[in-house]
Amino acid sequence: MKLDLAAELCRRFEGFSAKPYLCPAGVWTIGYGSTYYANGDKVTKDDPSIDREYAERLLMHELVHTYAPGTIRQCPILLTLAIQNKDWGKLNAIVDFCYNLGVGRLQTSTLKRKINQQDWDGAIEQLKLWVRGGGKVLRGLVIRRDAEAALMR
């Protein structure tokens, strides 16, 4: 499965932190936004620092084993289109969305319905609604959703 575009978006928008930090949602995070290690352990404030190579392996593990399967479970059309049309952009965009917000947010969203209906304009419109944090529009989320939307076209 080709997840290079999703990984690129995650690296760009999550940034790298060698040490554990509390993300805006109050969850301990490390590397490129990882909240769990490959063995299933949660990241904690007391964890040792990691290097970029380990953070990269952790990011790819999460994308391959958690976020891509979760995305495909909710929107199987994305994998079908990727394989048939050799266009992995839409799948990568939504995998990044799920990495950022969680598969559960996709599961209950109008975005999911629009994707499964192959209403791409509607999906892009829905995607661009997910830009708030703490009740405020966050510039970083606006830019991230725009980057994801560009892959949906």
Active-site positions read 14, 23
CB proximity list for 115: less than 8 A, separation 6 or greater: 75, 77, 78, 90, 94, 123
10 close to 33: Cβ distance less than 8 angstroms:
yes
Q: What CA–CA distance (Å, rounded) separates 39 from 122?
A: 38
Residue 127, Cβ neighbours under 10 Å: how many? 23
Q: Where are the beta strands (DSSP E) in 23-143?
A: 28-31, 132-133, 136-137
